Amino acid sequence: MRIESIGIFGGTGFVGSSLANELTDRGLHLRIFPRSREHPRYLSLLPYTEIIEITTYDKTNITEQIAQCDAVINLAGILNEKGDSGAGFRRVHTELTETIIKACFDARIRRYLHMSALNADPFGPSHYLRTKGEAENAAMAAHDEGLETTVFRPSVIFGPNDNFFNRFARLLRISPPLFPLACAFARFQPVFVGDVSAAFVRALTDHSTFGMRYDLGGPQEQTLIEIVRYVAKLTNSRRVIVPMGPLLSKLQANILEYVPGKPFSRDNLRSASADSVCRGEDGLTQLGIKPTAIGEVVPSYLNGKFERMRYYNLRSTARRFP
């Protein structure tokens, strides 16, 4: 299968920025579809890249724009929604995926790569996981109908502009001496954004990946409290991390859901009830990619002793991926 042009939905986000760099480095042409031209200005500097604003849920518009592509990658997703009804998650995860898939068939696209999440399941404990599961199943159903599909299911993703390690670093800086932590013993397998991007690139033209779902995790499984203590150490924070039980965790979620930026929500709490770790062989290993450890990357953008931290902060402010 020869692929020269790729359409990317959700391409202006954290993973999309990394993946766009990987793909253009290989001379591939990209058509990135944001909802607004205000976001992707930093990507417009990449070679072989077009930024095309589209009406996100208009199948006719999407079909017209991807007709020039050989493959489509769907990275679109949200971590929180307005309120707690599930409607926002369903619109972005389920409905948009179904619209993109229908457009792929109309435009006669043959290759489709889809970003899901570990524990995605239509019967999962949270709106996030349920709608991710619905979208994933729609993608695999499309494979059965002739659209060559590969699904990736990462644990929490880390890298210089992540919303995980950086978020806890920010919270620790503004917290009182005692830092109450919900879901302290939930387990994660953080995976490096560069490895996730490499997985997409490896699978793009590899026929053995067609129809496959890959769980993606890093080399370490850690509880949330272990991760937050690590962040505190790197940032020289002297906060005492205090694990909370189920009732206090629920109370914290109910409060923080209404804080600007929504650092933690009721749906986040429900998602954390299922450990985000690979249950079978790590997809990175299956694809011949050596997983990157947290310690190889995170200190370079969290540890204030590193000169590169100022560089990353400036890049983050400019909405650019290093």
On whether both 199 and 263 belong to a single domain, the answer is no
On whether both 124 and 225 belong to a single domain, the answer is no
On whether both 172 and 313 belong to a single domain, the answer is yes
175-207 per-position pLDDT tens digit: 999 999 999 999 999 999 999 999 999 999 999
Q: Let me know: does 229 contact 172? Beta carbons within 8 Å.
A: no
On whether both 114 and 239 belong to a single domain, the answer is no
On whether both 235 and 119 belong to a single domain, the answer is no
User: How far is it, in rounded angstroms, from Cα 5 to Cα 69?
Assistant: 5
129-164 per-position pLDDT tens digit: 999 999 999 999 999 999 999 999 999 999 999 999
On whether both 212 and 80 belong to a single domain, the answer is yes
82-109 per-position pLDDT tens digit: 999 999 999 999 999 999 999 999 999 9
On whether both 137 and 270 belong to a single domain, the answer is no
- Tell me the pTM: 0.92
On whether both 85 and 12 belong to a single domain, the answer is yes
Domain presence at residue 67: yes
Q: Which of 137, 153, 160 is nearest to 274 (CA)?
A: 153
On whether both 18 and 131 belong to a single domain, the answer is yes
Q: Let me know: does 77 contact 96? Beta carbons within 8 Å.
A: no
On whether both 115 and 139 belong to a single domain, the answer is yes
On whether both 54 and 38 belong to a single domain, the answer is yes
On whether both 123 and 225 belong to a single domain, the answer is no
Range(s) of the domain holding residue 228: 165-187+220-275+292-317
